[in-house]
Copies of this chain bind each other. A is one copy, B any other.
Amino acid sequence: MKQVTIKDIARAAGVSYSTVSRSLSGSSEISESTRTRILQICKQMNYTANAVARSMVMKNTKLLGMIVTDISNPFMSELAYYIDSQARNRGYNILLCNSLRSLEQERVLFELMISRKVDGVILFPAESESFHALETLLPRIPTIFVGENLRDVPESYVTVDNYRGAYMGVEYLYRLGHRRILYFGKRKGSTTHQLRGEGYHAACRDLGLTPRYMNNTFASTSIKHGYQLAQQLFSQPLDVTAVFATTDTNALGLMQAAEEKGIRIPEDLSLLGFDNIRYSGLPRIGLTTIEQPKKLLASMAVDSLLEKIENELTGYTHRVLTPSLVERTTCLKLEK
């Protein structure tokens, strides 16, 4: 598996290795004849440029670090797909890591990215504290936060307008005739979820409804935790007609608990989610939900980051996209 280098090509072609380099880089002043001749020899000798060596001198790697909390989460993996394709179009590849929602892991990984000299990092923050935990490291490498509102934090991010999304959700349920709407799974430690809660609250206020919460005491909004939380909810009589779940995964957990309790959705209880993960569109599930535009989120993340990298931009940008409602079958219109 001996590596064919530029020198071997130079020797074979009887030229200096800068000539070979020039032929390969396409640009530069060089005669068309030697150029094609050398390219031919490269092909014959099975030469493949060494990207590591090039990185060394070019001072870039054409690599983007992507730190997700968990790639097996459908929201992340869908975003990851779009990010990869967008990045590749622009000549970059993705170095993938999972932080497991641990601030400590996240920090280790971020340092790894610095060490590996990636050109930039796309970060799905482990928590709302991620910014502060990484603050000293951030100036060392262009970074964009994705999917989490960071409020007034001085670093770039792209996210959905969670406040607005929640507000829209309540309005929708209101229009269907619902007046007693529970906000299910409100979770601490995430600005995203805080904003969703605030949007819900504001809509209730504006529409004259009484806000009702069922807080999530668990660390995450997984299906399992939604299920456990819903078991608590269903252990006493229901006094609401609709539930607005803070995430689709939480909603799915609730659905499962409802099934077991014989509570029919939407006949007995309407259910609205948030995120529109792929699961939600599945047959038999058909979860009505507030959608995060994942493809757009991904391409904005890549664009913003590359803008920073390629134009050596300092400062930061905040991009906030408007979510939309995806109507499926879990919300019932109440007859008067």
Contacts and interface: CB of A to CB of B under 8 A. Distances in A.
B97 A95 contact: no
Contacts of A141: 1
Contacts of A115: 48-51
A48 B114 contact: yes
A238 interface: no
Contact of A71 (B81, B95, B278, B282): B81
A282 to B, nearest CB: 6
Contacts of A116: 51-52, 93
A97 B94 contact: yes
A111 interface: yes
B81 A98 contact: yes
B77 A72 contact: yes
Interface residues of A, number: 52
A107 interface: no
Most chain B CB neighbours (cut-off 10 Å) among A52, A259, A279: A52
Contacts of A111: 48
Contacts of A282: 223, 252, 256, 279, 282, 285
Given A71-B77, A72-B278, A95-B96, 8 more contacts: A48-B115, A52-B52, A52-B56, A70-B81, A80-B96, A84-B98, A85-B98, A88-B97
Interface of A: 1, 48-53, 55-56, 61, 63, 66, 70-74, 76-78, 80-81, 84-85, 88, 93-98, 111-112, 114-117, 139-141, 223, 252-253, 255-256, 259, 278-279, 282-285
